[in-house]
Amino acid sequence: MMKSPTRRRIAQAVLLAFGIAQAAQVPAMPTGAAVTAGGASISSSGSNMTINQSTPKAAINWQQFNIAPGESVRFVQPGTSAIALNRVLGQDPSAILGRLSANGQVFLLNPNGVLFGKGAQVDVGGIVASTLNLSDADFLAGRYGFSGQGGTVTNQGTIEAAEGGYVVLLAPRVANEGVISARLGTAAMAAGEQATLTLSGNKLLAIAVDRDAVGALVANRQLIQRMAVRSF
C-alpha cells in the first residue's frame, strides 16, 4: 500500500530532524487516545480535531500525536490555568507540521522525540514539549518533576504563548531553528534528563535542571521573542 503525500511529508520531516534510517508510516492527526485522568472528550471533523477538557487537569495517553500540514488540533479548556497532559506511548517521534492551539496549557511528552516542523503554528496559553516523562500522580498533585532518557526536541516552526505564558522545550537535546514567542512570559530551553517546573496559574515561576546528564545540549539558531528567556 502506497503512502499518501501527507504521510510522506511527515515521514520526510521526521527523517531530516531526527536522522531516522528508514521512513516510517507516520499517520496524520493524533490517534489511539485514552483519557487516564480528569475529563476530556475528543472529536474530529475532516482535518480538524478538538479536545474538550472538562476538568482543570486532564491526562491523555496517545499511540501517535502528529499534526500534518493543513491540519489543526485545538484544546478547549476551562481556563488559562487548565493543563492537558498528552503522553505518547507509541514508538515514533511526534511531528507537528500543522496548527496546535489551546486557550490553556498543553504538555506534549514523547520519549522518541518531538519536532515542530517548518510551517508549524503553535498558539497556546503555555506549552511544555519534552521527551521526559511525568506520572499522572505527580501531575495531578502539582509536582512537575520530569525524568527520562528520551531523544530530541526541535523547533523549526513558530511557537507562541499567550501574554504572561510560557514555552518550555525540555529534553537531553534541544534545538530551536524557528521562532519562539512568550510575551511578558518565559521561554525556556532546558537540556537534561531530570527537571522540575514550578507553575502558578498560567505562569512558569522556575525550572530546575539536572546538569549532570552526559551529552546534554541546547542549540538556539533563530529568534526568541520574550520578556525572559532561559537556556539550561
Give the bridge partners for 171, in sequence order. Answer: 191
Set out the domains of the chain in order of their start, with CATH numbers: 28-231 (2.160.20.10)
Distance (Å, rounded) from C-alpha 94 to C-alpha 117? 10
Residue 159 phi/psi, 5° resolution? -115, 120
Distance (Å, rounded) from C-alpha 81 to C-alpha 204? 11
pLDDT tens digits, one per residue of 185-226: 999 998 889 999 999 999 999 999 876 554 556 666 555 554
Nearest to 29 by CA among 61, 73, 60: 73
User: What pLDDT sits at residue 220?
Assistant: 62
Mean pLDDT of the chain: 86
DSSP string for residues in 111-130:
TT-EEE-TT-EEEEEEEEEE
Sequence-distant (6+) residues with CB within 8 A of 173 are 151, 152, 153, 191, 215, 216, 217, 219
Alpha helix segments (H runs only) across 79-222: 136-141
User: What pLDDT sits at residue 26?
Assistant: 46
Counting every residue written for the chain, the total comes to 232
User: What pLDDT sits at residue 28?
Assistant: 78
User: In a 3-state reduction of DSSP, which class is residue 150?
Assistant: coil
User: What pLDDT sits at residue 150?
Assistant: 82
pLDDT tens digits, one per residue of 52-81: 999 999 999 999 999 999 999 999 999 999
Which pTM was predicted? 0.86
Q: How many CA atoms lie within 13 A of 100 on its CB side?
A: 34
